[in-house]
Amino acid sequence: MNIALVVHDLHERGGHSRYTRILADGLARHHDVTVFANYCERPPDSRWNFAPVRAWRANALSTVQTFPIGMRSLAPQLAAFDIRHMQGYCGGRPNVVTAHICLAAYLNSLRDISRRSRTSLGWMATAEARFYHGYEGHVIAISQKVARELQECYEVRGPISVIPHGVDASLFGADNGAHAGAAVRSELGIDKDSTLALYVGDLTKTHTHLKAISAAAPEVEFVIVTSSKQYRWSASNVHIVQPTSELARYYAAADAFVFPTTYDAFGMVLLEAMASGLAVFSSDRAGAAELITTGKNGFVIPLNDWVEATAAELRDRDSLRTVGAEAKTMARGHDWSTVVAAVEQVYFSVAAASEPALEAGSVAELGGVDDADDARGVNEKGYRYQQ
């Protein structure tokens, strides 16, 4: 197949950008793939092509606003592709869209943001709603949470496939992690026998509960990796550090991962922490929480109860180790190759539906599906390709 992957920017940072890069690398082994982006970090050995899209880069909002204009000039070129896969609202005429977030639902979850930020998000949510109201193609949602929000906020009624993000198990939870973890503890002045709870991400959606848990569990050391300038605080058991490309070292140093988010469409750090063998404590407002069985491979706790319940569990290091081992086993079944294969099956389904001459069941011929379950649209992980 000829596949066009469309994304505002392509690099190793950021969830949807990294997702697109992984798809491009994986799909290019068997298909002709071209990435359409305004900015692209393309390795010299990549098998996929790059096509630039014009956009004004004054800020994130201006890029989102002007990117669809750049897409219009490329319409004849894009029309020649079997699959036109956009990452959220990018303009153009896609037949596959991955929803990495529902902006209307995210905006509704926010309470403490500036008027300027609320206005920018409001504009983008309006544009996203307008797009989905007129869209009749296939949607890939990164969680059941996002799938529900699209239906409730935008009345999306077309086919939706839920394909959760994956994790690089060779990077997180490597066998040499113990040495790296000990080095991090030494750098931060944390004793090897102390319980260390890690948080990674923006503080906007978590600061209230993180401050509360650090006060409720003074015997626990909290390491917070964040670029947030606001919402920081000082406490004897809190260590705030800048983002790093060596994040695996911090996972290796920790006993648990805390994630009291007020909204996350997925939360890739949860899956990374689980792959690293950590007991995770998520709120019930993260899409990745759908992968957790409370008490077995992690904990999903309503925000109203999160601080008290998490503080109690953090005191049992034996339980943390047992739950973390189960988490590692579960996470390793969600590698990125599984995601690429599931997305590829969506493409085969879309391609088959666009060919009137193809008979029912020919998706299996196109996609090389091996068994009856896959031909019906369900792979071995239970992801459903079509509703």
CATH code for position 151: 3.40.50.2000
| pLDDT tens sequence across 249-288 | 999 999 999 999 999 999 999 999 999 999 999 999 999 9
- Number of domains into which the chain is organized: 2
Residue 244 sits in which domain range?
177-331
pTM of the shown model: 0.87
In this structure, are residues 208 and 112 in contact, taking their beta carbons and an 8 Å threshold?
no
Model pLDDT, residue 1: 94
Residues 326 and 341 both lie in one domain: no
At residue 264, the 3 state secondary structure works out as strand
360 lies in a domain? yes
Helix (H, G, I), strand (E, B) or coil at 257: strand
Domain assignment present for 97: yes
Q: Could you read off the pLDDT of 8-46 as tens digits, one per residue?
A: 999 887 788 999 999 999 999 999 999 999 999 999 999
User: What is the residue whose two structure tokens read 């973890």?
Assistant: 181
What is the C-alpha separation between 83 and 71, in angstroms, rounded? 15
- Give pLDDT, residue 363: 38
74 and 63 Cβ atoms separated by less than 8 Å = no
The Cα–Cα gap between 42 and 26 comes to: 14
In tens, the pLDDT along 219-253 reads 999 999 999 999 999 999 999 999 998 999 999 99
Query: Burial of 305 by CB count in 10 Å (0-12 exposed, 13-18 middle, 19+ buried)?
Result: exposed
Nearest to 275 by CA among 257, 302, 296: 257
pLDDT value at residue 63: 86
d(CA 211, CA 222): 10
Rg (CA), the chain: 22
End-to-end CA distance of the chain: 23
Residues of the chain with pLDDT under 70: 174-176, 356-387
Integer Cα distance of 198 and 258 in angstroms: 6
Assess whether 44 and 103 both reside in one domain. Answer: yes
SS3 of residue 180 by DSSP: helix
**Do 97 and 198 belong to one domain?**
no
> What is the three-class DSSP state of 314?
helix
pLDDT at position 176 is 57
Is-contact 140 101, C-beta < 8 A? Answer: no
pLDDT at res. 175 = 62
pLDDT at 171: 87
104 and 118 housed in the same domain = yes
- Give the pLDDT confidence score for residue 92 in this predicted structure: 87
Nearest to 172 by CA among 140, 200, 148: 200
Same domain for 163 and 19:
yes
The separation between CA 156 and the C-alpha centre of its own chain, rounded to angstroms, equals 21
What local confidence, expressed as pLDDT, does residue 378 receive?
A: 41
User: What is residue 356's predicted lDDT score, i.e. its pLDDT?
Assistant: 61
Per-residue pLDDT at 382: 39
